[in-house]
Structure 1
Amino acid sequence: MVLTYSFIYSTIFSLQAQDYQVSLLTCDPGEEIYTTFGHSAIRVKDTISGVDLVYNYGTFDFGAPYFLFNFTRRTLDYMLSVSTYDRFLFEYNYFQRNVREQILDLNPEQTAKMVQFLEINRLPENKFYRYDFFYDNCATRVRDVLETVLGNQLDWNEPSEPERKTFRNLIDEYVYPLPWADFGIDLALGAVIDVNATEREKQFLPDYMEAAFARAQIVGDGPTRPLVKEQFDVLTFEPQPSSLNFFQPFVLWWVLAIFFIAITFIGFKKKRLFKGFDIAYFGILGILGIVITLLWFFTFHSQTKWNWNILWAFPGHLVLAIAMLKQTWKPWVKKYLLVMLISTNLALVFWVLGFQSFHPSIVPLLLISLLRSNYLYYNQEKFAIRG
């Protein structure tokens, strides 16, 4: 029954496609982490009846069972949803996020194919897809729809000398104003994102998709023409002033590093280890290492593989912290401290040689690991009695 309706709908629509206008909507980033990179959607407007719909590939069900678990493992499905244009804009107007529109210069046949594709794609058995931040998201789905509809008639007209940017560079452009999100993302994502993205791969970001649409051309159905025949601002708001915030990783980690330098100096003078601070610090690094390990080996995220942050935030550090709780340390503890010293230095080598770009805020953390593993390695036998 549903397929019959879709067939009838598409047949009628193909006869009236000249009455429809198809647009790309590009929305600026918001303040929530899942809105940090902006959004793309397709608008289809009936210029005769006034029916105005937005096809949105960026929706998901917050109430789905095991939502957070599935989101973390990349087993959460996103879906294509449809709303009215007014309802779509209401949210962006409420949160004061800019929205821009690009009207596509499609002929009636291309318009009919576009909406037929969207209508079939919105069916319950077709609307879900397995989300991938870089390769299958709300922006790339829009691109894929257009490529399916236009085929060889779509020329992206890519620049001959594109600006070289890695996937991490592209992410940093958006998360820079959010220092904690920036730090967390760099901690979670591995070396696989430190490669240059092609112009097509850059389109996972809505702003880059918008720029690609502006360059693109339609060929083969008459004179070559731009894909976009008109573009304009739909919602425009004044940018929010940014405030100086000292509660961010770079500042806090350097304060922490200075603290550890101070207690190391005092400890050496007083022949004390002050190992309680090390137990807490190594324990936290161990927990971070467990998270990195889980993201690397036990999720379906391709971007969290080969994450060399594990060299300085290793799960074994948690075992070390537990072992240090005892008054007398077993012989392997001293050997592990040496391994820790080497692996932390190795992380620096990997960074310098370009195997992976680490977040700059980890510099004071690496300094603490080098300082304390070295101090404990050479002094734990001499100062152990006094703690």
Structure 2
Amino acid sequence: MKNLLKKVLLSYSFIYSTILFANAEQYQISLLTCDPGDQIYSVFGHSAIRVLNQETGEDLVYNYGTFDFDAPFFVVKFTQRTLDYMLTVTTFDRFLYEYQYFQRNVREQILDLNPKQTDEVIHFLKINLLPENRFYRYDFFFDNCATRIRDLFEDILGKQLVWYDPAEPQDQTFRELIDEYVYPLPWYDLGIDLALGSVIDAKASEREKQFLPDYMEAAFARAEIEGDGPTRPLVKDARTVLQFPDRPSEGSLFNPYAVMWLVAIVFMVITFLGYKRRRLYVGFDAVLFTVLGLVGLLVFVLWFLTFHSQTKWNWNLLWAFPMHLALVYGLLKEKILPWVRRYLMFALIMADAAVIFWILGWQSFHPSLIPILLVVILRTNFLYYNFETFKQARQIGNS
């Protein structure tokens, strides 16, 4: 009786698997890679999975890069990295609508999976789509819309999936990889370099580079499946879904480099005039150190009060320090307090340290900050050595 039951179960399992995998043959699994857009949330491109039923015509796209704008305390959660992203599904036509509207190129890589692997991918996606599974804690470098897809195929294929490095791999840091995409958007580039710390100046491995959709697309093109019959490429066919003419990058005079050097020139002029006229013009310093103090406050919050791993050890704090706001208070007081002069020396040393950190490669700062660092060094030096002049000034309110 037991032997008969085993035979029935084995027969049922064989028949079920045969039907299941036969149905899986009608599905086509593809990786979709979308070119970068002009907004900060789209500037690095996007990845998604297309599942096409070639018999019924059902054409779905699974997308790990969506989040709820209407979530309570959205801005706070986004800043603190407590906002969950989620897997969603839509039709292929609806997915393409946004990219057609914004004229962003879309490419497709059709994967050479066997029926069992195809079925496991579809099952994995359906399980992940359940309400209790669809949300995940987003991490830009290590857990995003691209890495989720890579990890999915690594889970399904295991050791059968073999990645191959490019013929001439480049040593690049995470910051350098980001710069490739934000360089045409200089204000975004500056903001990212201000917000992210020295941890992103580490070298990225070829696998780690796959957090960027373009690099994952290239990695998929080089990958192979082994141990499943003859070794074969992971990608059996590639095509362009949407293609638009290249849009020329439009430069603007209003960019960080022009603005920062203009600020530096202004402070050089007022320092020269102040030296000649024996005036300090601390009103300009109040504006400068207020801005730097607010920037420092943001850097401090991102470092110590959020869960972002990439905002830690941010040495922009050396020159943009929250306590600069206290310096502003001290500079504007009619009665000069003794600690102001000591703090000026402290700020001068901190700014010098930032330059040393930059030279030694401990953190790469945005190039447009060179004139600002020079201004901080210049003004703290000037104010420190003319403290007595400041103390004796009669027209301090008009300086």
- Is the structural similarity TM-score above 0.5? yes
Q: Give the alignment partner of residue 315 of structure 1, picking from 306, 311, 322.
A: 322
Counterpart of 1:106 (choices 105, 113, 131) is 113
Out of 181, 184, 189, the residue aligned to residue 191 of structure 2 is 184
Q: Which runs of 4+ in 1 moved over 4 A?
A: 9-13
SS of the counterpart of 2:130? coil
**Offset at residue 15 of structure 1 (A):** 3.9
Question: What does residue 389 of structure 2 align with?
Answer: 382
Structure 1 Cα separation of the partners of residues 330 and 314 of structure 2? 26
CA distance in 2, matches of 1:326, 1:62: 45
Structural mapping, 1:61-80, within 5 Å: 61-80=68-87
Paired AA for residue 370 in structure 2 = V
Q: Which has the larger radius of gyration?
A: 2
2:352 maps to 1:345:
yes
The count of corresponding residues between Structure 1 and Structure 2 is 379
Per the alignment, residue 3 of structure 1 pairs with none
Provide Cα deviations, 1:341-386, integer angstroms capped at 9, x if missing partner. Answer: 1110000000000110110011010011011001100113114413
Which stretch shows the higher mean deviation, 239-248 or 170-179?
A: 239-248
How many angstroms apart in 2 are the aligned matches of 1:168 and 1:115? 35
In structure 2, distance between residues paired with 1:67 and 1:352: 38
Q: Which residue of 2 aligns with 1:255?
A: 262
Query: Which of residues 199, 202, 208 is equivalent to 2:206?
Result: 199
Secondary structure at 2:379 match in 1: helix
Partner of 1:324: 331
- Asked if residue 36 in structure 1 is aligned to residue 40 in structure 2, the reply is no
Counterpart residue identity of residue 99, structure 1: V
* Equivalent position SS for 2:352: helix
CA–CA separation in structure 1 for the residues paired with 2:245 and 2:71: 36
Instruction: Render the CA deviation track for 1:307-328: whole Å, top value 9, x for unaligned.
Output: 0000000011011011111112
Cα distance in structure 1, aligned partners of 2:358 and 2:330:
30
Q: C-alpha displacement at 1:163, in angstroms? A: 1.1
Q: CA deviation at 1:109?
A: 0.6
Structure 1 residue matching 2:184: 3-state secondary structure: coil
**Separation of aligned partners in 2, 1:369 and 1:274:** 15
Q: Matches of residues 118-157 of structure 1 in structure 2 within 5 Å?
A: 118-157=125-164
Q: Distance in 2 between matches of 1:29 and 1:68?
A: 23
CA distance in 2, matches of 1:97, 1:379: 57
Partner of 1:370: 377
**Cα distance in 2 for residues equivalent to 1:158 and 1:146:** 17
Unaligned 5+ segments in structure 1 are: 1-8
* Cα deviation, residue 159, structure 1: 3.7
TM-score (norm 1): 0.96
Structure 1 CA distance, aligned partners of 2:330 and 2:17? 69
Does residue 243 (structure 1) correspond to residue 250 (structure 2)? The answer is yes
2:94 equivalent to 1:87: yes
1:301 pairs with one of 300, 308, 311: 308
Q: State the shift of 1:142 in Å.
A: 0.4
After the TM superposition, which of the residue ranges 45-54 and 235-244 deviates more from structure 2? Answer: 235-244
Distance 1:133 1:145, change over 3 A: same
What letter corresponds to residue 302 of structure 1 in structure 2? S
Q: Which residue of 2 aligns with 1:281?
A: 288
1:165 equivalenced with 2:180 (yes/no): no
Give the whole-Å Cα distance in 1 for the aligned partners of 2:141 and 2:266: 39
Question: Does the 8 Å contact 1:10/1:112 carry over to 2?
Answer: no
d(CA) in 2 for partners of 1:372, 1:53: 60
Q: What per-residue deviation string (whole Å, max 9, x for no partner) do you get for residues 229-272 of structure 1? A: 00011000011122220101111000000000001111111111
1:101-124 Cα distance to aligned partner (Å, 9 max, x none): 000000111000010000110000
SS in 2 for 1:34: coil
Partner residue in 1 for 2:29: 22
Q: What is the CA–CA distance in structure 1 between the aligned matches of 2:213 and 2:168, rounded to whole Å?
A: 21
CA distance in 2, matches of 1:332, 1:31: 47
Identity of aligned residues (%): 63
Structure-1 residue corresponding to 2:11 = none
Long gaps (5+) in structure 2:
1-15
The answer as to whether partners of 1:10 and 1:116 remain within 8 angstroms in 2 is no
